[in-house]
Amino acid sequence: MILPINSAKNVYFAGKNSKTQVPEKTTEENKEKAKELPYSEDTLLKNNFLTRTRIGFDKFTNALTLYPAKGIKGSRNSNFYEFLTMGSVPYIVGSLMLMSVFNSANKHFDVFSKSKAGPIGRKMALGVLFYGIAKQISKSFISMPVKTMTGVDLNIPYAKFVNEHPEYPNDSDITSIEYHKVFESVDFPYWQMLYNEDNGKPRNEYFDKVGKKLGLGSNLNDSDQEVKPLIKEILIKAKTATNLSTYLWAATGVALAFQEPWENFFKVMSFKFWDKAKITKSAIAFKDSLVDSAKAFYHGEGRGLQKHAGKILLGAAIASSVLGVINVMSISGKPSKLSAGDVIDNKEKYVVN
Amino acid sequence: MRTNLIQNYIVNNNVSMGAYQAPDKDRPAFSVHENLYNRTFIKPLPPTAKLVNGSIFNAPAEMVKDWAYEVKSLKDGISGKANDHELGKLNDVGMKLGGLAIAAYLAAKKSTPLTKAMEFVGFASFFASMALWPKIAIQLPAKLIHGINTRQAYEDSEGRKKPFSLDTQFLPFDLFSDKKIDKIGDWQRVPKDLPNRRDFIQEKMRMEYVQNNTLWMMTAGFATPVMSGLICNFATPYVEKILAKHDNKMNEKMLQDFPDSVEAAVNNSINNKIETFIQFNKDKPLNETVKKELTEILTANANPVLADGIAYDLEQIMKNDKYIIDNSIPEYINKKIIATLSQSMDEDLIKQIVPTSTQISEIFENGNYINKTYTAKEHRDLIAKIRQALISNVEKYNNISGNQKLNTDFIEDLVSNVDMEADPIKKGLKHVPARTFDVNMQNTVKSIANAITNFNAKVAVLHKYAYKKVAHAADSSLAFEYNKIANKLVKILGIAPEELDNARYDRELMNNVIRSNFERIASSKEEYTRVMTELVDAVSGLDSNIKQSDINSFKNHLNNSFNDSATDFTNLNMKKTVARIVGLNRNSGKGSYKNVMESFVSDRLNGVKYAMYRLISTLDLYRRIATLENTEVLYNSDIPREYKEAYIEMAKRTSVQAHSADYAVKFYDPKNPHPDFKDLSNIELDADGKPIYNYFGKEAGNKVDIPQSYRIFQDEMSLMHGDRMHQETEAILKPKNLLETLREYRKNVVEILGGEFYFIKPEHIATVQTQSTSEQRFLLSGIALDEWLTKIAKQTHNTNKWLKMFGGFGAGLLGVTVLAQFFFGRAKLQDDTAIKNNKLSNNNLKNKVDNHA
């Protein structure tokens, strides 16, 4: 069911040229609304730490508050983006829960069982933490070299201005902002975001830059057409490598957390950040345990597979990233322009038999 | 094969196409019809998407299809041709790959098969939980409440399988027939006469999909780890059982195919190292370095006691008593003398007096000693001659040195020593043994290496068998059987879980729990028969799973293997090695490696069995007291009633709590030293089968241990272990072939535990004084029941606590998740009204649009 839009004057479809389309006579309410949103059209954002943090925070808070509230009411505006964003909730809740499963019951155990179960539970918790950290960090093992060597930043964010359905008659709160990435889809990259419009710079600046990095030379007539297929290939290969290698790194993180030396850290572990002495001691112990654990993980104990398991896992993780990057860099070379057969020449007449 | 757009159009519409009219840019008028005509063939193919109805029958086919798709995705991903859907699939593949890597790594780090297996169970259960939770908590209730399938999949026209309800703003409802939608509407009680019924039902479904998706995201994080933990918890005993069975079978097979198993266990590293060693050292003098290296190779990884034996024998076999003088000796002696003198003289001086290599060489050449052995007399002569050369050098020096003369006797003393090692000349002359690492010696060493390799292989197999069978390790068959009985014990004894839980920290409390429960069991014939039957069944299970015949077979292989190797070593003249492996006396095998292995198995087995026997014997004692049958001491007319009561208390407490040390000190048991000897009456029982005490607990004055009265000890031993078992107990034991075993056990307890000499109470001997080892006594006393149950109680407490916490949480979460769904899909009641007034709203809309226009 689509509700009738019975206050058409309150609705403006923002899109690209929203500024020109905003009706002159806006209600007070709409003015406020327009002010509230940080963007009034789809806007390319800089991929820096500040933006990433801001987007992350925005998505995280929405995933815990606004989106579930909309979703559980069955809102017609609850879309796939919100569903995907809510996907971070089970990750975080699940991690905390996993830590809890291994630790919460321990305090009810007797001293001996507690002493046995404690370190296992804490290692488990640390493992969950390291899984997440390793998975996040390892993404850059692919994206960084790819960006350096090709100029293609896999993670350029943009803010999407969304027009929503009215939820009820006279609903004027019908716009929202979503944070996407230009290259989140390999089938439909948001190319439009990469062109320069109205700022005096060459329209194809981005594609010129990438083309030059990829060795297609400068002064290309239509660099966007030349470079787009190459960027697509880079995206696909890089995403393939990322999808496979990050989980191997995550596994390496878990394995690192399961080393004996961490028990030294657990003994002095403290989160009392106001107690300087304790937190310093805790930090030093963490550093020492990290170094010792890394050694223990690498060298292993016992013999055979038991001894070399760490090296094998680390080797697999490194290999997956390195091979991934090599594969990205071995793009099919200079693209041929579209072959004559693919182009319909408007001056000719075609007959279908 | 798919036809192309144009062919498809022609076939379906049966049209004959004219020439394509290129648009004329200059043409002022725009003809819609012409344009439409020109574009008609550029229309999409009819969709071929379809719903995928998963069922148990097509699941394997779907699985294979999914795998094939994953492989294709990987291929496309690597070659840079994948689409978004394929990349999404690769993410799932990566997640499973990572999970598997974690499980494999952690399993590699674990030592027992169970813990290794559980890592994979954990991995599988986690992924299973991720898939199962939405099925159980969302899909099933949604199907029952709303008649919709929230996990409906469909295949799009490109053949890509996707979840139907993932993107709720683009639901391909076209794939649902009217009939299907109507059915869902009927289920949801949508009025049949509703105008635009399909639209309304679809809207309701959309809402439900959104709500269920949200519910899934909100609950999965809580549910998955808990569910995974619960699955692992429930799976553990089954995995354990399967592994134990499999392990036991493999272990028995290993022993049945003993020669093959030995062959498989052969490690040729010693043989190979010897071969290499021979290559580099053949025909070299058999000096200390060569001997040491050979010994190191041959004793590598051997048990240290055995290694000592082998080393000793090798020393004897390679013993040197003859030495030769070769060209290296003069220089060696020269250096040795310099080294000795340098401790007390200046370097310059030493150079002037020590005989040079040439001088020493001349001595050898003059006597024609080069490359020859020498006799003892020649040895003495040579020493004298070399010393003489030194002395004459000293004298020459004295002649030219003026006043600073050296004392010749002093110098001679410096280089003379009775100890060969400290005498440079003696040592030098024995530097090169006459014996070389010749073919004979090489063959001997090869034979020894073979014998040791063979022996090691046999020991490895026997060791593995013994370990897997009875070791004090989580994965041994014995541990599995023991745990099996321990897990059943609380249930068999009928102890209330709360009672057990409350007593888990305190031995005395636990003792009270055991006592009250044993008294309860013993007071009723039915209950006693039930408990004893189940207990005996459980104990006899141990015998049927760890068969005596298997243990005997192990002992046979052990004896044969060790004796065969002993013969091999005897033939090689390695007496000490033989003594170490089978003992000086092969029949008794005293102090041998063989006996250690044999007794390890029987002791471990007995240790567990005796714990069970003690339990049976204790329960029997309670039954005898509760019925006053087979309790001769309690009917003895010489014993005062007060002591009879004390004996009962003592026996009940000791049988539950005592360690072998309590028997060793003959029980510390304070009693009234002046009981009423006039009251020799017998014990009576109350209605619950408990003895009625006239004295116990009511004594006035101090009670003391009475060391001179050995009779008390004898009476107590007799009451506990000496009297015949209750006839009901015997009737239960007999069919299980345990009667004689239990009798034998109780007899041993009386004789061995009761027969130990204690110098403070020398007369306290139950029947006869016996010699026994502390190991024997330790095993015989079994495990104290209160300690055993305390351990069980703690474990049960931990597991139950966890289960209660997370099982409860899981159940609560499931409840809330299911309950929530009853409120789904109905929030739009106003829409119902709107739809019922469909005509009105349409009119309104029309009016408003008109107004706006």
A349 in a structural domain: no
Phi, psi for residue B617 in degrees, rounded to 5: -65, -40
For residue B94, give the nearest of A186, A247, A316 by CB distance: A247
Distance from CA of B837 to the nearest CA of A (A): 13
Answer with the one of B185, B216, B241 that is the final residue of a domain. B241
Rounded Cα distance between B425 and B433, Å, is: 15
Q: How many CB pairs under 8 A join A and B?
A: 215
Q: Is B109 on the interface with A (CB under 8 A)?
A: yes
A345 in a structural domain: no
Rounded Cα distance between B429 and A300, Å, is: 51
Distance from CA of B552 to the nearest CA of A (A): 33
Nearest to B235 by CA among B127, B120, B121, B123: B121
Q: 């780090």: which residue's tokens?
A: B109
Question: With an 8 Å Cβ cutoff, are A244 and B222 in contact?
Answer: no
Q: Is A6 on the interface with B (CB under 8 A)?
A: yes
Q: Calculate ∠ Cα B385-B386-B392, nearest 5°.
A: 85
For residue B90, give the nearest of A6, A243, A331 by CB distance: A243
- All residues of chain B having their beta carbon less than 8 Å from the beta carbon of residue A9 are 852
pTM of this prediction? 0.70
Distance from CA of B376 to the nearest CA of A (A): 53
State residue B730's pLDDT score.
94
For residue A187, give the nearest of B6, B83, B99 by CB distance: B83
Kind of pairing between the strands at A43-44 and B161-163: unpaired
B744 in a structural domain: yes
On the question of pLDDT at A180 being above 90, the answer is yes
Q: Which residue of B has its CA nearest to A9?
A: B852
**Cβ partners under 8 Å of residue B504, min gap 6:** A110, B510, B790, B793, B794, B797
Q: Domain of A69?
A: 12-17+34-335
Phi, psi for residue A43 in degrees, rounded to 5: -130, 130
Q: Does an H or E element contain B413, and which?
A: helix B408-414
- All residues of chain A having their beta carbon less than 8 Å from the beta carbon of residue B210 are 71, 74-75, 78
Question: With an 8 Å Cβ cutoff, are A1 and B831 in contact?
Answer: yes
Q: Which residue of A has its CA nearest to B806?
A: A101
A268 in a structural domain: yes
Q: What is the average pLDDT across A314-328?
A: 93
Q: Is B200 on the interface with A (CB under 8 A)?
A: yes
A342 in a structural domain: no
Rounded Cα distance between B435 and B427, Å, is: 17
- All residues of chain A having their beta carbon less than 8 Å from the beta carbon of residue B95 are 247
B570 in a structural domain: no
Q: Is B800 helix (H, G, I), strand (E, B) or coil?
A: helix
Whether residues B103 and B144 fall in one domain? yes
For residue A93, give the nearest of B87, B222, B845 by CB distance: B222
Q: A-contacting residues of B 224-263, CB under 8 Å?
A: 224-226, 229
Rounded Cα distance between B785 and B587, Å, is: 39
Q: Which tokens is B569 given?
A: 């070593």
Residues B721, B617 contacting (CB under 8 angstroms) = yes
Residue B126: exposed, middle, or buried by beta-carbon count in 10 A (0-12, 13-18, 19+)?
A: buried
Q: In which band, very low, low, confident or very high, does the pLDDT at A200 lie, cut at 50, 70 and 90? A: confident
Question: HSE of A282 in the Cβ direction (CA atoms, 13 Å)?
Answer: 13
For residue A327, give the nearest of B78, B166, B797 by CB distance: B78
Whether residues B393 and B538 fall in one domain? no
Rounded Cα distance between B721 and B745, Å, is: 9
Q: Which residue of B has its CA nearest to A325?
A: B78
A352 in a structural domain: no
Q: pLDDT means per 10 residues in chain B (853 residues)?
A: 56 53 56 63 72 77 86 91 90 89 84 77 82 90 91 86 88 90 90 87 91 92 89 86 87 90 89 90 84 89 85 87 84 88 82 85 84 83 87 85 78 82 84 84 90 91 90 83 86 88 86 92 93 92 84 91 91 90 82 88 87 93 92 87 90 90 85 85 86 82 79 90 93 92 92 88 86 86 88 84 86 92 70 48 48 45
For residue A83, give the nearest of B91, B166, B794 by CB distance: B166
Question: With an 8 Å Cβ cutoff, are A90 and B220 in contact?
Answer: yes
Q: Is B5 on the interface with A (CB under 8 A)?
A: no
- All residues of chain B having their beta carbon less than 8 Å from the beta carbon of residue A105 are 798, 801-802, 805-806
Give how many domains chain B has, as a whole number. Answer: 4
Q: B-contacting residues of A 313-352, CB under 8 Å?
A: 313, 316, 327, 331-332, 346-352
State residue B830's pLDDT score.
47
pLDDT (tens digit, 9 = 90+) per residue, A206-220?
A: 999 888 888 888 778
For residue B215, give the nearest of A72, A93, A310 by CB distance: A72
B727 in a structural domain: yes
Whether residues B29 and B64 fall in one domain? no
Rounded Cα distance between A353 and B2, Å, is: 18
Rounded Cα distance between A178 and B782, Å, is: 71
Number of other CB atoms surrounding residue B616 within 10 Å:
22
Whether residues B361 and B509 fall in one domain? no
Rounded Cα distance between B375 and A21, Å, is: 123
Q: B-contacting residues of A 249-278, CB under 8 Å?
A: 250-251, 254-255, 258
Question: With an 8 Å Cβ cutoff, are A251 and B99 in contact?
Answer: yes
pLDDT (tens digit, 9 = 90+) per residue, A164-174?
A: 888 777 777 78
Whether residues B10 and B75 fall in one domain? no
For residue B848, give the nearest of A4, A100, A347 by CB distance: A4
Question: With an 8 Å Cβ cutoff, are B207 and A74 in contact?
Answer: yes
Nearest to B430 by CA among B420, B415, B422: B420
Highest mean pLDDT among A59-73, A270-284, B498-512: A59-73
Q: Is B76 on the interface with A (CB under 8 A)?
A: yes
Give how many domains chain A has, as a whole number. Answer: 1
Q: Is B213 on the interface with A (CB under 8 A)?
A: yes
Distance from CA of B840 to the nearest CA of A (A): 12
Whether residues B499 and B637 fall in one domain? yes
Question: With an 8 Å Cβ cutoff, are A351 and B20 in contact?
Answer: yes
Question: With an 8 Å Cβ cutoff, are B167 and A248 in contact?
Answer: no
A28 in a structural domain: no
Nearest to A325 by CA among A186, A190, A141: A141
- All residues of chain A having their beta carbon less than 8 Å from the beta carbon of residue B22 are 346-349
Amino acid at B787: E
Whether residues B237 and B377 fall in one domain? no
Q: Please list the helix, strand and coil fractions of chain B in percent, rounded to the nearest 5, in that order.
A: 70, 5, 30
B112 in a structural domain: yes
Q: Is A285 on the interface with B (CB under 8 A)?
A: no
Q: Which residue of B has its CA nearest to A103?
A: B802
Whether residues B105 and B194 fall in one domain? yes
Q: A-contacting residues of B 393-422, CB under 8 Å?
A: none
pLDDT (tens digit, 9 = 90+) per residue, A325-348?
A: 999 888 755 554 555 455 556 666
State residue B8's pLDDT score.
60
Q: Is B133 on the interface with A (CB under 8 A)?
A: no
Question: With an 8 Å Cβ cutoff, are A79 and B220 in contact?
Answer: no
Question: With an 8 Å Cβ cutoff, are B169 and A80 in contact?
Answer: yes
Distance from CA of B473 to the nearest CA of A (A): 17
- All residues of chain A having their beta carbon less than 8 Å from the beta carbon of residue B17 are 352
A83 in a structural domain: yes
B188 in a structural domain: yes
State residue A10's pLDDT score.
46
- All residues of chain B having their beta carbon less than 8 Å from the beta carbon of residue A327 are 78
Rounded Cα distance between A87 and A73, Å, is: 18
Q: Domain of B393?
A: 323-433
For residue B226, give the nearest of A101, A250, A258 by CB distance: A101
Residue from A106, A237, A244, A314 whose CB has the most chain B CBs within 10 Å, to mutate: A244
Rounded Cα distance between B156 and B49, Å, is: 4
Q: Which tokens is B491 given?
A: 């249930």
B50 in a structural domain: no
Residues A217, A211 contacting (CB under 8 angstroms) = yes
**CA B742, chain centre distance (Å):** 32
